[in-house]
Structure 1
Amino acid sequence: MAEQTREVLAVVRRTGRPPGVYRLRDVLLDYQLTRDTPATRELAALLAPLDDELIHTLRVHLSTELTRRRTAALLHVHPNTVDNRLRRVAALTGLDPSTPSHLALITAALALTSR
């Protein structure tokens, strides 16, 4: 149980969740995605072309449930800047954060990156 608690804490930190009490059921998908499988490296590499600013923008955008104005407020930028960054993500990775199937891959890849 202690090992699982450490792993849940690592997932919470890696995914940028706010402070709080978390159980395994609170992070099920991210927890599962961080298990080592043959696809793990390839999935994590999807975001390799992105710099820390774009990774952070994605994390914040996901934490706001894709609300561009809230994302902009949290990043202290104009909403158009958020749009520009998301377009750069798409251009660099081929994954458009506004497309549900791409968003699932982005979310999974973010769970695997420590940036």
Structure 2
Amino acid sequence: MGDDAGRGESLRRAVVALAGALGARRLPPPPPRHQPLERVVVRLHALDAEMGRLCVCDTRTPAIYARLLAARLAYDGLLAEACLVLGLDEPGPPPLDGVARLEVEAGLTAAGLRW
């Protein structure tokens, strides 16, 4: 059996050398589909706080609507990513309406996520 293992290793090295000579290269492993849950939680917390600040600030603040919309879109995307990480059903694409957002937040909270 030792001879078979040696031949197998020789064959592997020959294939790798041939592939290199033909210009083939190893591709790096694909990046994970999602970021670590801890990072998602930190970003959810930050966006939640930012939306709270935007909702109570002076309405004369420049571009407040655009800033709030951008924060909500990012928040909805992170909610979907948290669902993906935890294996929950993903919501529809952003923007989520108020009821859908509340349902997703409730599902994540029920799964033990806090932000």
Report the TM-score, using the length of structure 2 for normalisation.
0.31
Larger radius of gyration: 2
Of structures 1 and 2, the one with the larger relative CO (CA 8 A, separation 6+) is 1
Alignment TM-score, normalising by the size of structure 1: 0.31
